[in-house]
Structure 1
Amino acid sequence: MRGRKTLCFCAFKFYEQLKFVMAVVENESFSLVAKQCFVSQSTLSNSIQALENEFGRALFNRTTRCVQLYFFGIEMLPFITSILIAEKNLFDYIEKLILAVKF
């Protein structure tokens, strides 16, 4: 069984990968997203590739000139979006609770 720290690290890594995917979808560029996220292009690419390996399918068709979602990526996009929205909503709610409850 994984320890709490391992699970937290895995969850953080997973959300980071999903955020990278969304940023590449929105910007259609690995190099631009790498600069915006303050990571190297190889770190970004490796992170997304690790997620693709977990899924067992590629999300993107990468060429030297463009980045496009494969059909699988298009199908996964609503789920990725939902997860990222849920994460944002969770942290917004936590912030409200912290502000509402005086310690």
Structure 2
Amino acid sequence: MKTSERIAHVADRIEAVLDANPSAHANPGAMLALRTAAAELGAHDPYASEKLIQLMERAQVYYGARSFFRLPGTSRHLWSDMRDDLLDRLRMRARVLASQGE
């Protein structure tokens, strides 16, 4: 499997997990599914790995047992970072690599 295909596949799996678990609360099942998807990527592309690490950091807070959402909008901000920004960056990287034949 090409690196671009691997990144696109992992992005699809992450998107499915996030869409199935949109609430900010303790959710070890969602974290396990995200870790499993992240493990599939491996270290084939430094940029994608960095974005995936950032996404996983936010997911640990979002799906963590403690409530870090004392300030209004904090959970929405984390959700937007994960679902909109970082996931889109992974998909863009996959498209760039695909255009280069990787």
Specify the TM-score bucket, using the shorter chain as the normaliser: 0.3 to 0.5
Structure with the larger strand share:
1
Q: TM-score, normalised by structure 2?
A: 0.38
The structure with higher relative contact order (CA 8 Å, sep 6+) is 2
